[in-house]
Every structure is written in structure tokens, then in C-alpha cells.
Structure 1
Amino acid sequence: MRKEPRQARSRATVEMIIEAGARILSNEGWAGFTTNKVADTAGLSVGSLYQYFPDKLSLIEAIRRRHLNDCLAVMRKCQIEGLTAAQFVANLVQGMIAAHSTCPGLHRVLLDDAPIFDGYMNPNSTFEVEYLAYYEKAVATYRRRELDMIDRTAALLISDAIDGVIHNAARRGTLRDPAVQSELIRLVSLYLADGGEVAAP
């Protein structure tokens, strides 16, 4: 961003811009995404938009960052302790689906069309570290042991399974399909509670 919003009014303006940008990406795709359209949708002049975002690439970065923060917020809200694996996974999957349902077309654009900055591919980014640590904690809790290499791989696969199914459902327009939700919950909860033993060949 060109400058960080410090006052409540400035923060509200930035949120309006990001929300308008997300709606345009969802409805019109990357080809229809312009700063003029975003400013008009937000009810602002394009000059006001440029006070915070120098170009549409910086705005895309802010939209993607907000989405990642929304996902982390879901995870922080979904407690692990005191729940069965199925209850925990149901809460998590339902929360993630809700986070992806506000602007369902947005995620296809972010995944397939919009430029991706190098920082989002970094496996050691702050987001990735917290994200995977959450799944590792879940595996350790439901398998009732200290994590070994197989468990850490399991945590990575669980995160990829949830991401992959939800992102592809967003692409296909099936996020609200009850079967997608119930089968994803069943898949992940059964694997999460599995001991992780490798069958003999």
C-alpha cells in the first residue's frame, strides 16, 4: 500500500476499496478489473483510491491478504480441545466454506488469473507457518502422540485436501452443495483420527 490507514475513517475507506475490488473480481474477472471500476463501485474518486493503492497489482495483493487473514480467523475461532475429530473438522470446513462463499468467483480469479507475488509462494511465510502449525496441532491432538515425520506430512495433506476441495468447489460453483461439505468432513475426520500406520506391501 502507498500509505497505511491510521484513522478510523481511512481504515473504513480502505475496506470499502478492498470490498469493491473483491466484488468486481468475482463478477467480472481479471479482464474486467480496473482501478476506475473499483473506485466507482466504492463510491470514491480514483484519486482517493490512489492515495492508498498505487496500481491494481497492489490492490490485488491487499485483496489476497484479506482472504488469507479471513482463513486464519476461521482457524483461530475453531478450537480443537474438547471436540471429536468429526466435530472439529465440521466446524473448520463449514467456516472455510463460509469464508469462500462471500465472493465465490473471486477465488478462481486469485488462483487462476491474477498475478501471484513471490511472497505468497514462500513456505516459510508468517501465514504458512501459522497455517500448518494449526493442522499439526490437530494431528497431534487426535492421534494422541508427539508428531513424527508421517504426522507432519499428514498435517500438510489435510490442509491441502481442505484447500483443494474448497477452491475447486468455488471454481465449479458447488460450494453450497451439502454433499461436497459432508463428504469433505467425512474424508478429513477419518484420516485425521487414523493412527498413520503404513500397511505392509
Structure 2
Amino acid sequence: MATRIAAPRGAMRKAPQQARSRATIDAILDAAAHILGERGWEGLTTNGVAEAAGASIGSLYQYFPNKLALIEAVRRRHFDDVLAVLHAAANLETPRVKRITVLVDGMIAVHSRHPAAHRVLLEESPRGEDSRSAHDRFDVECTKAYETLFRANVRGVAERGCVGARVLAGALAGAVHEAARQGQLASPVLRRELIALVDAYLSRLRPLVEKPVSRQAR
């Protein structure tokens, strides 16, 4: 089972129990992310979100007490989507080449979902203590998932797993986030280059101890 990030205290008034309720919440969160990307934090209102989602304001308030709670739920959903991709990419029953494409395609798909909202979440929307705690938990789970993925694709280098996982995570996240800012996530060239990047990094097994350079080579 994929790890999910627990909701911050007080973020939602109640959890949805039925498929219809979950669909309503998904529509509300999609609307919130869309408006956030178009109008920014200041332009986001609960009334606007309810109208865009086709839900009553009463239905929205059944789950979210304010717009900050909405944003926290959008952020947690993104965290959960990223973790789901990482766990799928670490599945040893899937061939190695397929695991790499699952990772790249999954990261592109996750960040293609309301890409403009990601910038606002990072740069504009306020973060309380609960938000920081959720982000810290995500960082821990993300690191664990990348370590699992790294070890699944690179055998015999377990002692390098932690550092290698962080390097891979930073390289991939940086490239995908920059592509999102540039509006290039749909580029087939980007996809091809990301697959090549991940494959080359996971395939390159450098010696753990660098050989000293001889005086003649200096």
C-alpha cells in the first residue's frame, strides 16, 4: 500500500465516506487548484471555488472550514500523487526499463495537473505549523520512496542509496518543476531527455573510492 500523508489537524471537518462525497471533494480541490493557478492566493475564495466545482457553499463548508484548509488539501493530494508514482516505479515485478518510464511519465502527469497552482503553493500561499508538519512528513516519505526506487534499479550499492536517492530526487524534481514553469511538460523531447537522464544516472556505477591521480597525469 502506498504511503499517504496524514491530514493536518483541523484541515478538514470530516472525511468523505461515500464515492459521491469523494467525487465532490475531488471537484472542489480541482476547482481550488484551477483558481489558485489563475488568480493566485488573494483571488481564491470559498464562494468562487464552490461555484466552479458545481457544489453548494454549504457542501464545501461541510469539509473545509476556510480557504487555507482547501489549499492544505490540494497540497496533500499532490504529495500523495507523487508518492504513488514513486512506489509504482520501485515495483520489482516491473522490468527496469518500464520502471524508469513509469517514474518519468508519472512525474510529468502529476505536475501537469494544474501546473500554475504549484508555483502559487510554493511562493504565495501561507503555511501554518500544520502545513510545515505535513511537508516534513512528505519529505521523509519521499526520501524513503526514492531510496527504495534507487536500490530497486541499482544493485550492489546499498551503502550509496541515501545519497544517490537524494541526487536523483533533486535532479528529477528540478527538471520537472522548471519545465512546468516554462510550460514544456507536454514536450516529447522533455520526456525523452528525462528518461535518458534517469537511466544514465542509475546505470552509472562509479567506484566508491576514487583512484589517486598519478603525478604523470597531473
TM-score w.r.t. the length of structure 1 is: 0.86
Superimposed CA distance per residue, residues 56-89 of structure 1 (whole angstroms, 9 cap, x where no aligned partner): 01000000111111122223333344523x5422
**Given the superposition, is the C-alpha separation of residues 128 and 81 from structure 1 closer, same or farther in structure 2, using an over 3 Å criterion?**
farther
Find 1:119's aligned residue among 127, 133, 137. 133
Residue number in structure 2 paired with 1:177:
187
Asked if the contact 2:87/2:149 (under 8 Å) is kept, the reply is: no
**Given the superposition, is the C-alpha separation of residues 26 and 43 from structure 1 closer, same or farther in structure 2, using an over 3 Å criterion?**
same
Q: Equivalences for 1:147-166 in 2 at 5 Å? A: 147-148=158-159, 150-166=160-176
Please give the alpha-carbon distance, in whole angstroms, between the structure 1 residues aligned to 2:134 and 2:42. 22
Residue number in structure 2 paired with 1:8:
19
RMSD: 2.1
What letter matches 1:157 in structure 2? V
**Given the superposition, is the C-alpha separation of residues 140 and 44 from structure 1 closer, same or farther in structure 2, using an over 3 Å criterion?**
closer
Gaps of 5+ in 1: none
Superimposed CA distance per residue, residues 22-78 of structure 1 (whole angstroms, 9 cap, x where no aligned partner): 121222222321111101111223232112111101000000111111122223333
Percent of aligned pairs sharing the same letter: 45
What letter matches 1:96 in structure 2? M
The answer on 1:20 being equivalent to 2:34 is no
Q: Equivalences for 1:186-197 in 2 at 5 Å? A: 186-197=196-207
Cα drift, residue 160 of structure 1: 1.6
Cα drift, residue 170 of structure 1: 0.9
Q: Secondary structure at the match of 1:32?
A: coil
Residue number in structure 2 paired with 1:64:
75
Please give the alpha-carbon distance, in whole angstroms, between the structure 2 residues aligned to 1:106 and 1:80. 33
What letter matches 1:194 in structure 2? R
Please give the alpha-carbon distance, in whole angstroms, between the structure 1 residues aligned to 2:47 and 2:15. 21
Gaps of 5+ in 2: 1-11, 214-218
Flag the structure with larger Rg. 2
What letter matches 1:133 in structure 2? K
Q: Secondary structure at the match of 2:158?
A: coil
Cα drift, residue 15 of structure 1: 1.9
Asked if the contact 2:88/2:99 (under 8 Å) is kept, the reply is: no
Residue number in structure 2 paired with 1:83:
95
Residue number in structure 2 paired with 1:31:
42
Please give the alpha-carbon distance, in whole angstroms, between the structure 2 residues aligned to 1:15 and 1:109. 19
**Given the superposition, is the C-alpha separation of residues 196 and 87 from structure 1 closer, same or farther in structure 2, using an over 3 Å criterion?**
farther
Equivalenced residue count is: 196
Superimposed CA distance per residue, residues 98-131 of structure 1 (whole angstroms, 9 cap, x where no aligned partner): 1211222121112222223211442xx2x33432
TM-score w.r.t. the length of structure 2 is: 0.80
Asked if the contact 1:2/1:54 (under 8 Å) is kept, the reply is: yes
Asked if the contact 2:31/2:53 (under 8 Å) is kept, the reply is: yes
